[in-house]
Structure 1
Amino acid sequence: MVKVKVWDGFIRGYHWLQVSLLFGLWYCADNDEMEWHFVFGYALLALWITRFIWGLIGSDTAKFSYFIKTPKALIGYLKDNNKFDRVKFGHNPAGACMVVLFLALLATQLFSGLSASDDILSEGPLAQYFSADTVSFLTWLHHVNFDVLLWAIGLHVIAIMAYKLKKQPLVKAMFTGVAEYPLVNSIAHPKILNGLVAWAIYAGIAGVVWWQWGHENFGYLLY
């Protein structure tokens, strides 16, 4: 077996920070802590934008062009009885579909949240640009889409457990960035960039989002 660096520092941090923010968003919404809900939402928005940018310019295993395959490739992978034994650095075709699904669901959740309103105290900063009917629909979508997101997370966890049973510790690799593979000389190792570059991008985007919207919500928390 040979150890291969497959995940950079940003992708690993992105994964676990995203999990933490989603939990915080759910907890705050469920306990009427809407100011914190908005703060966490802005942090997740900046994280999503950074992930999209990193998917274009980042490490090989982070790039969409590296892991997103055609539907034919996905079907072939799902039919492959030896798929758990194939050497694939980063996301396999099924994992790539989950990445795309998560990004799409998160984009829907973020946009609908920025445009939602409870008609009493809390209103997203984009709600003012839409009609009352549109805001009502987006508020409904924000709640329904979160349920879909939970189902997707559950499916993701089941897939991780399946790979664990096949002696492929995906969770460990997402902590360490390193995975073990059979020695294969014919497959080029992925190019992994310094994740600090992506975190610098995140800091810049978060600063812009904070300046535009976040500071107002945080100000309420101080009183």
Structure 2
Amino acid sequence: MQTTCTATSGKTILVWDLGVRLFHWSLVAMVLAAYLTEDFRKAHRYLGYAVIALIAFRLVWGLIGSYHARFITFIPGPIRLTNYLRAIMFAKEKRYLGHNPAGAAMIVALLVTLGAIGATGYMMGMDRYFGQSWVETTHKTLVDGLLVLVALHLGGVILASYRHSENLVKSMITGRKLVDEPNNHL
């Protein structure tokens, strides 16, 4: 279960390990590059393969990585997610040292969407699906959905950073977050 805390002491702890941080920023770079190279098929395809490889890494890291990297420690059930979203609406959400329930749900949504984009992109190059308009339409629709998810993700980061007086972008760079007690590592 994810631990909540209040950042008051000025002390920090490593929350996001190097694997999580390298995955996150590499994924940002590869997805952005793939989006910008849509008209350059070969580069776009190889960047898509890189995204698929990163997703595969994150799935493995979600099983064997550090505490806050493991899916079992942060993926919420529907009740916990609903309660957290309701708390956000009333500005009463708790601060989490790791992923909050909304952030965790967003991670799942982003990974599933990126996986589906990669799958449909790969399908477009296969003889069986080459020229099938539904595959290309699905791919483009998923990319549009991804843009919405990214906007929501960025909005959530900004909101949580503001509400809890912390710089979440900085913590995803350094891996460190403020804690209320030096021994609070959950």
Q: What TM-score results when the alignment is normalised by the length of structure 1?
A: 0.73
**In 2, distance between residues paired with 1:41 and 1:154?**
20
**In 2, distance between residues paired with 1:76 and 1:56?**
26
**In 2, distance between residues paired with 1:179 and 1:54?**
20
User: Which amino acid is the alignment partner of residue 176 of structure 1?
Assistant: T
Which structure carries more helix by proportion? 1
Aligned to 2:176: 178
Q: What TM-score results when the alignment is normalised by the length of structure 2?
A: 0.86
Match of 1:35 among 34, 42, 48: 42
User: How far off is 1:131 after superposition?
Assistant: 5.1
Aligned to 1:10: 19
User: Which amino acid is the alignment partner of residue 49 of structure 1?
Assistant: A
Structure 1, unpaired ranges of 5+: 117-123, 191-223
Aligned to 2:133: 136
User: How far off is 1:136 after superposition?
Assistant: 2.6
Q: Kindly, what percent of the aligned residue pairs are identical?
A: 34
User: Which amino acid is the alignment partner of residue 111 of structure 1?
Assistant: A
Determine helix, strand or coil for the equivalent of 2:156.
Answer: helix
Q: Which runs of 4+ in 1 moved over 2 A?
A: 78-82, 130-133
Aligned to 1:90: 98
Q: Answer whether contact 2:61 2:69 (CA < 8 A) is retained.
A: yes
Q: Answer whether contact 2:129 2:135 (CA < 8 A) is retained.
A: no
**In 1, distance between residues paired with 2:119 and 2:13?**
37
Change beyond 3 A, Cα 1:150–1:73: same
Match of 1:78 among 85, 107, 129: 85
**In 1, distance between residues paired with 2:55 and 2:162?**
31
Q: Answer whether contact 2:123 2:130 (CA < 8 A) is retained.
A: no
Q: Answer whether contact 2:27 2:51 (CA < 8 A) is retained.
A: yes
**In 2, distance between residues paired with 1:144 and 1:113?**
12
Match of 2:107 among 99, 123, 133: 99
Aligned to 2:120: 112
**In 1, distance between residues paired with 2:143 and 2:44?**
14
**Structure with the greater alpha carbon radius of gyration:** 1
